[in-house]
Structure 1
């Protein structure tokens, strides 16, 4: 029985044209070979499994080929190519820097460089995982790498370019390999399946390409495992089962349940997923990726970023049309936070279920608002509601049937508003009704609107019913001292001082004047405005009572104010009067602590 060779080795490219997804590298190398412009040192860097070592071997074989083609490819038939394919060529030396990273290993490599090739033009030295070399090994390699013999070519390969010394980078031609796209991976897998006579669905190959994340070696290894698992038939269902991936149909159904606020079905679906062995973080990450694809599908400009199977693209586009962008953006934020906090959660299942509950009621919470070209999230608040007025009690006037609404105390029993019958009539005040107390406030000469009339009427009625206390200087002084006591209870000494220094006077029954010295004192008085007005109104039983502040500037601002000198000023005055003190300080090299 023949020995099994994995696909990654069996179908390793032997020419530049068979390298997948790195045309920008292979084209440059072929042109350099044709024009005889080869550098003496190359650095191949990029992710794992994208063809760095493969391209290095193809380059080594091609430059030693005896019959190169016109486009710079190896013939694969000459003695050099045959010996190279058989692994018996003496012109290529590979060094694994991960296990041979000492100075002695590099010294032995440098000693081999001195010997010219017995056959062929070049001796090629491939150093894989070169970032694993120690600093001493790098330094021992510098001189040889900078000025090697004309027949020596060095090819360094690494996945972590940032770990290599700048002195090494400056001596090499750097080629950056990129990840292989999903479409290129699927096409390559289809070619291998045709050669191996394997029945494979394209959707299954697309799942393999997504799982490999741009690494061709990983995709080939996954394909070998699934072929062994399914006995030569790769389908979409068994690929999902083998790779432990959730079907996208689950996410489509879950999204429908959440959009319809069908929380029970959403939780039951998560329970089904959980019983199949999928962890909560897998569900959160998969659903976030799914919503990302929905968001990408909403705009034709970025639809090219949708990396899914062709069978699902149309379904994504249809779903994106009916899902609001506000929901998708907010759901992605919730899923991102849930994924970050998943490891810290003690009850993992409850953590995921709470996330589903938030997503279920998300439509009631948020919406997107276009504000001058920028899109922002806005909370949805309840619609405007009318103010709930209290039903007024009804009183009948004599036998005329006229019904009027009068303000009474809140403690009286209220009658239903449905019993009220309103007749618009100018009622005549009864002869015995008492006159309202006179007020010093003069009404405005201009005609008031309806709102001003209502406010004036309410103010007069409140004054009639409340029996406001007459303001006297003695009562005002007592009221002012009581408020100072309240400030003392609050432990506000700065305000207490300014309130004690203030003088209060009566302007009229509804206005009090507060005279203070300076703007600073005014700020302290104004800071207590709300509490002070409430205190004054409650004390004098007058809801219209207020106060005004008058700032009195001091007349003796020009007089000098005596103050105590600080230590620096005292020292300056001493040396002005006695200069020898300063000389004594400088001779003794004294330092003053101001």
Structure 2
């Protein structure tokens, strides 16, 4: 039984012409070889599985070929090409920078560069995943990369160009590899299926190309896996089943149910999808991609962006005719929000069902309307109408009633009341006789005269009552307590009790040690023994002075603090002498000890 070789290795391109989807790079390299304008350092960067290492190996083989073709390709027949194809060439050295990223590895590489090739023109060093090198390794590689020997060529490959130092980038010719298009991937897969005798539907290959996301190595790996799963027969259904992809037919059915506002049908369809093992986030993501494809079909200019199976393109275009742009944009917003909040939802199934219910009644909830060339949201509710009020005509008022209801006291409110009543009387008697109008005017004048008369002659009883009320409201003058030693000690003790209730024990101790002395009738002195006691009392200055002023009913009460140290507290305390002090005292009393120390040349350990 022959050893199985995966398609990614078995069908790895051996010439520039067989490289898929990178014509802009292969053409440049072939022209450089033909014109003998090779750079000493190349940097191949791009996504995974698009041919970076493959192009590096082809370049290494071609520049050492003994019979280079006119189009810049290797002959694959000479000794150098044969040894390269068999993997025995000594002119190519590959280094994996992911596992050899230290300074010592780069130093070993630079030491090998000094030796010329035994056969061939060039020694090619391919460093894969070069962004994994450490900063010190990059710096150790700079000089060699800038001025290598004429027979040495470096090819660096990486998927993360932004991690490489600018000093390295400036020393290399940079080639950016692009993702392989789905059409190029499908053509390459069809060619391989023809060589291997695999029966594959084009729709299945298109699904594989979409799933690989422009990576040819992933596409070939998926192809090998499905071939083993289906025993050499690739169909659209078994490809979807193996890749765990939801068929687009379910999304078309969901849209039909939503357009009919049939929430029951949409929920039953989602339950069927859930029973097949598809989680809610997969459904939301797939449905959002489906809505995006339908939105792309609304304009013929962007139909090239439609990445679906060819057999479904007509169905997408028909669905685009039925759905409005406003509904599609609103649906994308709902699905995007639901997908973002999916991870935080406790009940995942209910969260997905709520999103589907919103989409079902989306057309009824919000409508996008054009207003003066712009877009605005308008809720579908009836226009509000103002409440109709019935006008009530004022009743005529006689002058006699005005005279009876006239207030006896002249106040602003009384004058306003009189003016209103007169105005109503005049408006109600517009159709009255001139005699009645004159009577109303005379009545008004009579009332005004009575008010002015009362205003000019205020009663003495009312004034005396006001004076009595003001006198009662004024607080009685507080009696000031005399500041004596006894009253001061009493107030001081009350404040200490407050501090005790507040559990401020440090302040209580210092307040009890303080001594008080009355200086004048409005001031006293606080004597403390240290600055620490003074600080504790100063911290309570605001509350203390307010307490004392309230106690004595005297706002002019003040105090000052004096620090008088206790002489007894400064008595030095005896302490034991150190070993040095003991020796000095012994030498002072007995000089021979010092002389003995000098003769014996002894050192004291203090």
Residue 370 of structure 1, CA deviation: 3.4
Residue 365 of structure 1, CA deviation: 1.7
- Correspondence 1:460 to 2:379: no
The aligned counterpart of 2:573 is none
Q: Give, in whole Å, the separation in 1 of the partners of 2:396 and 2:212.
A: 84
Q: Give, in whole Å, the separation in 2 of the partners of 1:462 and 1:158.
A: 96
Q: Give, in whole Å, the separation in 2 of the partners of 1:174 and 1:110.
A: 22
The residue matched to 1:221 in structure 2 has which SS? helix
- Correspondence 1:509 to 2:416: no
- Correspondence 1:11 to 2:37: no
The aligned counterpart of 1:379 is 378
**Structure 2 gap segments, 5+ residues each:** 424-606
Residue 380 of structure 1, CA deviation: 3.0
Q: Give, in whole Å, the separation in 2 of the partners of 1:188 and 1:137.
A: 39
**Structure 1 gap segments, 5+ residues each:** 391-406, 408-457, 480-503, 513-594
Q: Give, in whole Å, the separation in 2 of the partners of 1:184 and 1:85.
A: 25
Q: Give, in whole Å, the separation in 2 of the partners of 1:7 and 1:348.
A: 40
Q: 1:143 to 1:383 in 2, by over 3 A?
A: same
The residue matched to 2:393 in structure 1 has which SS? helix
**Once the two structures are superposed, what CA deviation does each residue of 1:39-89 show, in whole Å capped at 9, x if it has no partner?**
100000000000000000000011111111111111111111110000000
In the superposition, the TM-score normalised over structure 1's length comes to: 0.67
- Give the structure with the higher percent helix: 2
The aligned counterpart of 2:64 is 64
- Correspondence 1:166 to 2:166: yes
CA contact (8 A) 1:366 1:377 kept: no
Q: 1:142 to 1:473 in 2, by over 3 A?
A: farther
CA contact (8 A) 1:364 1:380 kept: no
Q: Give, in whole Å, the separation in 1 of the partners of 2:310 and 2:422.
A: 81
Q: 1:181 to 1:509 in 2, by over 3 A?
A: same
Q: Give, in whole Å, the separation in 1 of the partners of 2:372 and 2:76.
A: 65
Residue 383 of structure 1, CA deviation: 3.8
- Correspondence 1:21 to 2:38: no
CA contact (8 A) 2:406 2:418 kept: no
Residue 242 of structure 1, CA deviation: 0.3
Residue 259 of structure 1, CA deviation: 1.1
Q: Give, in whole Å, the separation in 1 of the partners of 2:221 and 2:175.
A: 26
Residue 14 of structure 1, CA deviation: 0.5
Q: Give, in whole Å, the separation in 2 of the partners of 1:222 and 1:183.
A: 17
**Once the two structures are superposed, what CA deviation does each residue of 1:543-589 show, in whole Å capped at 9, x if it has no partner?**
xxxxxxxxxxxxxxxxxxxxxxxxxxxxxxxxxxxxxxxxxxxxxxx
Residue 29 of structure 1, CA deviation: 0.7
Residue 373 of structure 1, CA deviation: 4.5
The aligned counterpart of 2:286 is 286
Residue 381 of structure 1, CA deviation: 2.2
The aligned counterpart of 2:253 is 253
Q: 1:477 to 1:329 in 2, by over 3 A?
A: same
Q: 1:297 to 1:505 in 2, by over 3 A?
A: same
Q: 1:239 to 1:383 in 2, by over 3 A?
A: same
The residue matched to 1:346 in structure 2 has which SS? coil
The RMSD of aligned alpha carbons is 2.5
**Once the two structures are superposed, what CA deviation does each residue of 1:189-229 show, in whole Å capped at 9, x if it has no partner?**
00000000000001100111111111000000000000000
The residue matched to 1:251 in structure 2 has which SS? helix
Q: Give, in whole Å, the separation in 1 of the partners of 2:319 and 2:377.
A: 24
**Once the two structures are superposed, what CA deviation does each residue of 1:477-525 show, in whole Å capped at 9, x if it has no partner?**
459xxxxxxxxxxxxxxxxxxxxxxxx978952999xxxxxxxxxxxxx
Q: 1:100 to 1:511 in 2, by over 3 A?
A: farther
CA contact (8 A) 2:91 2:122 kept: yes
The aligned counterpart of 1:217 is 217
Q: Give, in whole Å, the separation in 1 of the partners of 2:52 and 2:410.
A: 96
Q: 1:74 to 1:478 in 2, by over 3 A?
A: same
Residue 309 of structure 1, CA deviation: 1.3
The alignment of Structure 1 onto Structure 2 pairs a total of residues equal to 419
The residue matched to 1:509 in structure 2 has which SS? helix
Q: 1:377 to 1:389 in 2, by over 3 A?
A: closer
5 Å-filtered alignment, 1:173-212, equals 173-212=173-212
- Correspondence 1:40 to 2:18: no
Q: Give, in whole Å, the separation in 2 of the partners of 1:46 and 1:7.
A: 21
CA contact (8 A) 1:473 1:505 kept: no
The aligned counterpart of 2:358 is 358
CA contact (8 A) 2:125 2:153 kept: yes
The aligned counterpart of 1:269 is 269
Q: Give, in whole Å, the separation in 2 of the partners of 1:336 and 1:511.
A: 70
**Once the two structures are superposed, what CA deviation does each residue of 1:156-211 show, in whole Å capped at 9, x if it has no partner?**
00000111011100100111111111111111100000000000001100111111
In the superposition, the TM-score normalised over structure 2's length comes to: 0.66
- Correspondence 1:304 to 2:304: yes
Q: Give, in whole Å, the separation in 2 of the partners of 1:262 and 1:21.
A: 46
**Once the two structures are superposed, what CA deviation does each residue of 1:129-171 show, in whole Å capped at 9, x if it has no partner?**
0000011110000000000011110000000011101110010
Q: 1:379 to 1:373 in 2, by over 3 A?
A: closer
Q: 1:110 to 1:470 in 2, by over 3 A?
A: farther
The aligned counterpart of 1:489 is none
The aligned counterpart of 2:226 is 226
CA contact (8 A) 1:42 1:174 kept: yes
Q: 1:132 to 1:371 in 2, by over 3 A?
A: farther
